[in-house]
Structure 1
Amino acid sequence: MLRRLTCMGVRNAFATLHLLPMSDRDKDAEILPLRHQITVLEHQLRTGKVRFTPRDRAFPAALLYRLPFDVVRR
């Protein structure tokens, strides 16, 4: 248990270091598709099946299209 907690702490520390050089615009553009995915999944979990339609994939793709390629690749 202690090993797992330590691993999670180290992973979160590196994730935080990864976010430091990013601009607020990049962070917001990364958060928007994730929020959309969560909304879609929450809606679909009420029905019992989780599936992404092409329309669900188009919104995050449109947001990610505006980001520089090196940010999307990360």
Structure 2
Amino acid sequence: MLRNGLEPWHLLIVAIVVIVLFGSKKLPDTARALGRSMRILKSEAQAMKDDPAVPEPVRQTPPPTTAPVEPPAAAG
């Protein structure tokens, strides 16, 4: 498959661990809650993009750098 990527048996192990941790009875409820949360997050992110009341961040330019001023050479 992919170099240094997930292979099918990796996904199988992850699925078994999830089933053992949550139990087969709570798994559908957990998946449903996760899906609901993802939909809410997506809609809120879209609302933030579409909201004209939120101003775009203002880029501030840094102050210009000045060379150090040297004292005048002493005449003499």
TM-score (normalised: structure 2): 0.43
Q: Larger relative CO (CA 8 A, sep 6+): 1 or 2?
A: 1
TM-score (norm 1): 0.43
Larger Rg: 2
Structure with more helix by fraction: 1
